[in-house]
Amino acid sequence: MINKIIRYVVCIILIIMVIASSLQVLFRYIFQHPLAWSEELTRYLMVWLTLLGAGIAFFYERHLGIDFLFIHLSKKGQTILKILNNFIIGSFLILIIVKGFDISYKNFSQMSPAMRIPIGWIYLSIPIGSIIMLFVCCNNILTAFKALGQK
């Protein structure tokens, strides 16, 4: 359910980015009066798109990985390695979440140049994207433990 909502949010962000970029081209080259905010909006939306998209990619196991050891293990060994791998990733994500909220909080007083929004909103994408990936990690661990119990 959460993954479906995030996919819709990512699609909306992409649509807004296309519209803002198209408006920038239209106003710059047709009307000879470039928009000050469109490039900045597109850049910040790209950050959000990337970090939310990372959670989607993690859900579908589309991140790059080295599977040399994994493919040479038994099914039980693969499941144990999957649990270990997700535990390590989850531990790192917790660190990113804590530090991401800290960085975001510290940057709410700084305003973006063109749109005059707090930069903390952009930095907030780091812990939010990491929280999404942490949910996926926890789900992967629970699923792997269930698979171990069924064998």
Q: Check if the beta carbon of residue 21 is closer than 8 Å to that of residue 38.
A: yes
CA 54/CA 136 separation, integer angstroms = 11
- Quick one: pLDDT at residue 151? 59
Q: What is the pLDDT of residues 25-68, one digit of tens each?
A: 999 999 999 998 999 999 999 999 999 999 999 999 888 888 88
> CA dist 114 to 11, 19, 40, 44, 117, Å?
24, 18, 7, 12, 8
Q: What is the pLDDT of residues 84-135, one digit of tens each?
A: 999 999 999 999 999 999 999 999 999 999 999 999 999 999 999 999 999 9
Q: What is the pLDDT of residues 4-24, one digit of tens each?
A: 999 999 999 999 999 999 999
